[in-house]
Homo-oligomer: A and B are copies of this chain.
Protein backbone atom coordinates (compact mmCIF):
# COMPACT_ATOMS: atom_id res chain seq x y z
CA UNK A 1 0.00 0.00 0.00
CA UNK A 2 1.28 3.45 -0.91
CA UNK A 3 0.91 6.83 0.78
CA UNK A 4 -1.37 8.03 -2.04
CA UNK A 5 -3.89 5.32 -1.12
CA UNK A 6 -4.36 6.58 2.42
CA UNK A 7 -3.91 10.34 1.97
CA UNK A 8 -6.75 12.86 2.09
CA UNK A 9 -7.01 14.65 -1.27
CA UNK A 10 -9.58 17.13 0.09
CA UNK A 11 -7.00 19.29 1.83
CA UNK A 12 -6.80 23.05 2.13
CA UNK A 13 -3.67 25.10 1.51
CA UNK A 14 -2.51 28.65 2.14
CA UNK A 15 0.10 30.95 0.62
CA UNK A 16 2.98 32.65 2.45
CA UNK A 17 1.58 36.16 1.93
CA UNK A 18 -1.94 35.37 3.09
CA UNK A 19 -3.17 37.28 6.16
CA UNK A 20 -3.56 35.41 9.45
CA UNK A 21 -7.16 36.52 10.04
CA UNK A 22 -8.22 35.08 6.67
CA UNK A 23 -6.20 31.91 7.27
CA UNK A 24 -7.68 31.37 10.73
CA UNK A 25 -11.21 31.61 9.30
CA UNK A 26 -10.33 29.11 6.56
CA UNK A 27 -8.84 26.60 9.00
CA UNK A 28 -11.81 26.89 11.38
CA UNK A 29 -14.32 26.53 8.54
CA UNK A 30 -12.64 23.34 7.27
CA UNK A 31 -11.79 22.11 10.79
CA UNK A 32 -8.08 21.68 10.00
CA UNK A 33 -5.46 21.93 12.73
CA UNK A 34 -2.70 22.01 10.10
CA UNK A 35 -2.25 23.12 6.52
CA UNK A 36 0.52 23.09 3.94
CA UNK A 37 1.87 26.41 2.71
CA UNK A 38 2.32 26.47 -1.08
CA UNK A 39 3.69 28.83 -3.69
CA UNK A 40 1.75 29.91 -6.80
CA UNK A 41 2.52 26.56 -8.50
CA UNK A 42 1.41 24.48 -5.48
CA UNK A 43 4.95 23.53 -4.44
CA UNK A 44 5.30 22.79 -0.74
CA UNK A 45 7.18 25.67 0.90
CA UNK A 46 6.10 25.27 4.54
CA UNK A 47 3.58 24.11 7.11
CA UNK A 48 1.49 25.83 9.76
CA UNK A 49 -0.61 24.57 12.65
CA UNK A 50 -3.48 26.27 14.45
CA UNK A 51 -1.08 26.73 17.41
CA UNK A 52 1.16 28.84 15.16
CA UNK A 53 -1.92 30.86 14.25
CA UNK A 54 -2.91 31.48 17.91
CA UNK A 55 0.62 32.72 18.55
CA UNK A 56 0.48 34.92 15.44
CA UNK A 57 -2.86 36.46 16.43
CA UNK A 58 -1.68 37.02 19.99
CA UNK A 59 1.60 38.64 18.91
CA UNK A 60 -0.07 40.72 16.20
CA UNK A 61 1.86 39.09 13.38
CA UNK A 62 0.41 39.65 9.93
CA UNK A 63 1.01 36.90 7.38
CA UNK A 64 1.61 33.16 7.05
CA UNK A 65 5.30 33.75 6.32
CA UNK A 66 5.63 35.27 9.83
CA UNK A 67 4.62 31.99 11.51
CA UNK A 68 5.32 29.12 9.11
CA UNK A 69 7.78 26.25 9.51
CA UNK A 70 9.88 26.05 6.33
CA UNK A 71 9.74 22.83 4.29
CA UNK A 72 13.20 21.70 5.41
CA UNK A 73 12.10 21.67 9.06
CA UNK A 74 8.99 19.53 8.69
CA UNK A 75 8.17 15.88 8.08
CA UNK A 76 6.77 15.17 4.61
CA UNK A 77 6.36 12.03 2.52
CA UNK A 78 6.19 11.22 -1.19
CA UNK A 79 2.93 9.96 -2.69
CA UNK A 80 4.70 6.77 -3.80
CA UNK A 81 6.35 6.06 -0.45
CA UNK A 82 5.06 2.96 1.33
CA UNK A 83 2.08 3.83 3.55
CA UNK A 84 4.07 2.18 6.33
CA UNK A 85 6.50 5.13 6.28
CA UNK A 86 3.70 7.63 6.98
CA UNK A 87 2.48 5.38 9.82
CA UNK A 88 5.95 5.22 11.39
CA UNK A 89 6.53 8.98 11.03
CA UNK A 90 3.11 9.70 12.60
CA UNK A 91 3.76 7.60 15.66
CA UNK A 92 7.45 8.45 15.98
CA UNK A 93 7.02 12.23 15.79
CA UNK A 94 3.50 12.24 17.33
CA UNK A 95 1.96 14.08 14.40
CA UNK A 96 -1.69 14.65 13.57
CA UNK A 97 -0.97 15.04 9.85
CA UNK A 98 1.81 14.95 7.24
CA UNK A 99 1.91 16.67 3.82
CA UNK A 100 2.36 14.47 0.75
CA UNK A 101 4.30 15.65 -2.31
CA UNK A 102 5.10 14.35 -5.80
CA UNK A 103 8.41 14.32 -7.71
CA UNK A 104 8.16 18.06 -8.31
CA UNK A 105 7.41 18.96 -4.66
CA UNK A 106 3.79 19.68 -5.57
CA UNK A 107 1.41 18.99 -2.66
CA UNK A 108 -0.84 16.03 -3.57
CA UNK A 109 -2.56 15.39 -0.25
CA UNK A 110 -2.29 15.17 3.51
CA UNK A 111 -2.05 11.98 5.56
CA UNK A 112 -4.11 12.32 8.75
CA UNK A 113 -3.63 10.27 11.92
CA UNK A 114 -7.35 9.40 12.28
CA UNK A 115 -7.41 8.12 8.69
CA UNK A 116 -4.41 5.93 9.53
CA UNK A 117 -6.30 4.71 12.62
CA UNK A 118 -9.22 3.79 10.38
CA UNK A 119 -7.00 1.90 7.92
CA UNK A 120 -4.99 0.07 10.60
CA UNK A 121 -8.04 -0.85 12.69
CA UNK A 122 -9.64 -2.72 9.78
CA UNK A 123 -7.28 -5.63 10.37
CA UNK A 124 -8.18 -5.76 14.08
CA UNK A 125 -11.90 -5.72 13.24
CA UNK A 126 -11.86 -8.84 11.01
CA UNK A 127 -14.06 -11.56 12.49
CA UNK A 128 -12.19 -14.64 13.73
CA UNK A 129 -14.91 -16.79 12.14
CA UNK A 130 -13.66 -15.58 8.72
CA UNK A 131 -10.27 -17.13 9.41
CA UNK A 132 -11.88 -20.42 10.42
CA UNK A 133 -14.05 -20.38 7.31
CA UNK A 134 -10.95 -19.90 5.17
CA UNK A 135 -9.28 -22.77 7.08
CA UNK A 136 -12.27 -25.04 6.47
CA UNK A 137 -12.17 -24.29 2.75
CA UNK A 138 -8.44 -24.95 2.57
CA UNK A 139 -8.46 -28.25 4.47
CA UNK A 140 -10.37 -30.44 2.03
CA UNK A 141 -12.18 -33.32 3.69
CA UNK A 142 -12.37 -31.64 7.09
CA UNK A 143 -15.81 -30.51 8.24
CA UNK A 144 -16.72 -27.38 10.23
CA UNK A 145 -17.83 -29.55 13.17
CA UNK A 146 -14.48 -31.37 13.21
CA UNK A 147 -12.73 -27.99 13.27
CA UNK A 148 -14.81 -26.81 16.23
CA UNK A 149 -14.25 -30.07 18.09
CA UNK A 150 -10.48 -29.90 17.55
CA UNK A 151 -10.53 -26.24 18.61
CA UNK A 152 -12.28 -27.11 21.88
CA UNK A 153 -9.72 -29.86 22.58
CA UNK A 154 -6.74 -27.63 21.75
CA UNK A 155 -8.15 -24.84 23.95
CA UNK A 156 -8.46 -27.24 26.89
CA UNK A 157 -4.92 -28.53 26.40
CA UNK A 158 -3.42 -25.08 26.10
CA UNK A 159 -5.22 -23.00 28.69
CA UNK A 160 -6.83 -25.75 30.79
CA UNK A 161 -10.33 -24.41 30.18
CA UNK A 162 -13.08 -26.90 29.40
CA UNK A 163 -15.17 -25.58 26.54
CA UNK A 164 -17.79 -27.30 24.35
CA UNK A 165 -17.41 -27.10 20.56
CA UNK A 166 -20.72 -25.17 20.42
CA UNK A 167 -19.41 -22.61 22.90
CA UNK A 168 -16.18 -22.28 20.92
CA UNK A 169 -18.20 -21.66 17.78
CA UNK A 170 -20.25 -18.98 19.54
CA UNK A 171 -17.07 -17.28 20.84
CA UNK A 172 -15.39 -17.02 17.45
CA UNK A 173 -18.63 -15.87 15.83
CA UNK A 174 -18.59 -12.70 17.92
CA UNK A 175 -14.85 -12.18 18.39
CA UNK A 176 -12.63 -9.94 16.30
CA UNK A 177 -9.05 -10.74 15.31
CA UNK A 178 -7.87 -7.94 17.63
CA UNK A 179 -9.71 -9.46 20.60
CA UNK A 180 -8.44 -12.94 19.72
CA UNK A 181 -4.76 -11.99 19.61
CA UNK A 182 -5.25 -10.01 22.82
CA UNK A 183 -6.92 -13.02 24.51
CA UNK A 184 -4.31 -15.53 23.31
CA UNK A 185 -1.34 -13.33 24.16
CA UNK A 186 -0.15 -12.17 20.77
CA UNK A 187 -0.12 -12.88 17.06
CA UNK A 188 2.36 -15.78 17.20
CA UNK A 189 0.42 -17.52 19.96
CA UNK A 190 -2.87 -17.05 18.15
CA UNK A 191 -1.38 -18.51 15.00
CA UNK A 192 0.27 -21.39 16.84
CA UNK A 193 -3.16 -22.24 18.25
CA UNK A 194 -4.54 -22.39 14.72
CA UNK A 195 -1.66 -24.61 13.59
CA UNK A 196 -2.30 -26.95 16.54
CA UNK A 197 -5.94 -27.18 15.49
CA UNK A 198 -4.87 -27.79 11.89
CA UNK A 199 -2.42 -30.48 12.97
CA UNK A 200 -5.13 -32.30 14.92
CA UNK A 201 -7.73 -32.32 12.15
CA UNK A 202 -5.13 -33.33 9.55
CA UNK A 203 -3.90 -36.22 11.73
CA UNK A 204 -7.52 -37.38 12.13
CA UNK A 205 -8.13 -37.09 8.39
CA UNK A 206 -5.02 -39.16 7.64
CA UNK A 207 -6.10 -41.78 10.23
CA UNK A 208 -9.56 -41.93 8.62
CA UNK A 209 -8.04 -42.44 5.18
CA UNK A 210 -5.95 -45.30 6.47
CA UNK A 211 -8.93 -47.19 7.96
Q: Which of A's residues lie within 8 Å of B, judged by CB?
A: 1, 21, 24-25, 27-28, 31, 33, 49-51, 53-55, 57-58, 84, 87-88, 90-91, 94-96, 112-118, 120-121, 123-124, 126, 130-131, 133-135, 137-139, 176-179, 181-182, 187-189, 191-192, 194-196, 198-199, 202-203, 206
What chain B residues lie within 8 Å of A196 (beta carbons)? 138
Interface of A, helix, strand, loop or mixed by DSSP: helix
- Checking B96, B139, B206 against A195 with a beta-carbon cut-off of 8 angstroms, the contacting residue is B139
- Checking B57, B84, B176, B191 against A191 with a beta-carbon cut-off of 8 angstroms, the contacting residue is B191
What chain B residues lie within 8 Å of A91 (beta carbons)? 114-115, 117-118, 121
Q: How many copies does the complex hold?
A: 2
User: Is there an interface contact between A84 and B178, defined as CB atoms closer than 8 Å?
Assistant: yes
User: Is there an interface contact between A33 and B49, defined as CB atoms closer than 8 Å?
Assistant: yes
What chain B residues lie within 8 Å of A58 (beta carbons)? 21, 24-25, 57
User: Is there an interface contact between A84 and B124, defined as CB atoms closer than 8 Å?
Assistant: yes
- Checking B55, B96, B114, B182 against A33 with a beta-carbon cut-off of 8 angstroms, the contacting residue is B96
